[in-house]
Structure 1
């Protein structure tokens, strides 16, 4: 698809990876609507667009967990631009701590933003992208945590695994409408994502992850200074969209992790024959997936 003149809505689009995506899209001639929560980040983003003599984005204040407001934002974007072609679900929180000590508030906050925010974007915007019939693209920004787990990121990892599964399935559903879907899994990026725990909402204050040690968190945040430039991440996302890739990986250093996942998974398969009936069901599933990817709508009848 030629992105020149197309409209994109990006959640969390005024800082970090979201702002990197916004700049890459602007460089490609796209018109932008950006959600934000922090006024200072919004002001800094606005200055960049002015300095570049670009069309000012439509800035929209949004908590991605607020379904009513998300629906209002979708209406405002459509009213302002006429049509929306690209949705980027980018906003998220990075919070760490032992999963076995987490409370309901820990789960509800992190899953509500990182997975629920994606759901709210999809429900609010996909009908509008379908309606104009010109096609488009959905980008769900997850993380390498969608593949790689660790002892301090249980809920965060669960949220990103959930985004991965939803995105991979959604790609099949939207192919008949000429709407591409991409899962983006960035690695370490030079952002302020590490400080999410310092901005925890009061209505989710009952945490089992321990009191936030600001000095320790800031030391951890120093690692992010070694990360990839967000603009480079954004440019790789734009390239992946243009190639209609279902999976966009941005950081080459995760090759050993992917290799280990593959080898561990293959080694876990039982070394025994499967009965013909089960083999046939899996054959039908694979054929159904291929047909869906090519643009055909698949029903349950196609799978049995």
Structure 2
């Protein structure tokens, strides 16, 4: 019995040593600096994509912004250049529908010919709140094409180009997803499934690209104050109100905060980036088969998983009560 205290001390010492070594390892970055790097951003004209663009430019990166609407792209470039006092030729624009494979391939190739692509950020996406049964097939196809194929097409076009130089120039692919990949988001029909698909795509790419020094980062913010979310909220206040009751959350993140966490994440080659404390809890429950990036994260998640499972059981009872005792949002044919 007298040996037990020493064994505990030894175990704690070993764990502390592993955590210390892990922390030192994490200090070495996959991409040490963005100065002189070329960052291509889809959905770069507004929201999270624009915030990522601004912060990358502030660190000295060259940018290619890809979005559907040219006037919005031009406004974004003017905003970045004016706020950072940058030369106009440090930012290029590509007015492209990310759901058009041929147009995306041309835009990516032209961007690479201007400057080799170091980081691809896929931030384009759309949201249309409604019940599944009330969405027109054409709208379902539009959301699916933009949110899934609109991420797949740029990645598919970029990977072969990155492989030509990634052995000596580490590169990164960043997918801006959503916490709705881990927990369903009431009233968003096909949106949540598309984010689940992006999580699966990121997991696949992480291991497919491992031999080529191409990092993969999945950033999963919660509700973020973007034009897309503001428009969705204006169109479907009743869904928003019900969602706030179900999830006990009314806080919206700032795009600049999401961008900061995302950039630091892909620099360190983190796979699953959470941008809030609530996100860390949801990530613990919804991580899936892909392991954490560090032993310390593993240790935290092991300690959290059982209490969180109990909490989700209790939350399930509460959510059912909310849905059964409140008026169902009005259905709209869209």
TM-score of the superposed pair, with normalisation by structure 2 = 0.68
Q: How does 1:1-304 map to 2 (within 5 A)?
A: 1-2=31-32, 3-51=34-82, 52-56=84-88, 57-81=91-115, 83-133=116-166, 134-194=169-229, 216=236, 227-255=252-280, 257-258=282-283, 262=305
Residue ranges of structure 1 left out of the alignment (5+ in a row): 198-212, 268-304
1:260/1:60 Cα in 2 relative to 1: closer, same or farther (>3 Å)? closer
1:178/1:153 Cα in 2 relative to 1: closer, same or farther (>3 Å)? same
Higher-Rg structure is 2
Q: Deviations over 1:93-137 (max 9, x none)?
A: 011211134343233111111011111011111111111232200
Q: Aligned-pair distance for 1:72?
A: 0.7
Q: Aligned-pair distance for 1:53?
A: 1.5
Distance 1:124 1:177 in 2: 16
Q: Aligned-pair distance for 1:37?
A: 2.3
Distance 1:214 1:266 in 2: 34
Q: Aligned-pair distance for 1:167?
A: 0.3
1:191/1:159 Cα in 2 relative to 1: closer, same or farther (>3 Å)? same
Local SS of the residue matching 1:87 = strand
Q: Deviations over 1:248-288 (max 9, x none)?
A: 11122345545666559979xxxxxxxxxxxxxxxxxxxxx
Local SS of the residue matching 2:266 = helix
Distance 2:133 2:139 in 1: 11
Distance 1:195 1:43 in 2: 21
Structure 2 match to 1:210: none
Local SS of the residue matching 1:184 = strand
User: Could you say what the CA RMSD is over the residues aligned between the two structures, in angstroms?
Assistant: 2.8
Distance 2:144 2:262 in 1: 24
Local SS of the residue matching 2:190 = helix
Deviates more, 1:98-107 or 1:128-137: 98-107
1:260/1:65 Cα in 2 relative to 1: closer, same or farther (>3 Å)? closer
Distance 1:128 1:61 in 2: 21
User: Do the aligned partners of 1:71 and 1:124 also contact (CA within 8 Å) in 2?
Assistant: yes
Distance 2:100 2:263 in 1: 28
Distance 1:171 1:239 in 2: 17
Distance 1:135 1:119 in 2: 21
1:63/1:196 Cα in 2 relative to 1: closer, same or farther (>3 Å)? farther
Residue ranges of structure 2 left out of the alignment (5+ in a row): 1-30, 245-249, 287-304, 311-334
Q: Deviations over 1:169-220 (max 9, x none)?
A: 10111111111000110112111113667xxxxxxxxxxxxxxx96645995
User: Do the aligned partners of 2:187 and 2:239 also contact (CA within 8 Å) in 1?
Assistant: no
Q: Deviations over 1:45-64 (max 9, x none)?
A: 12223221224310110110
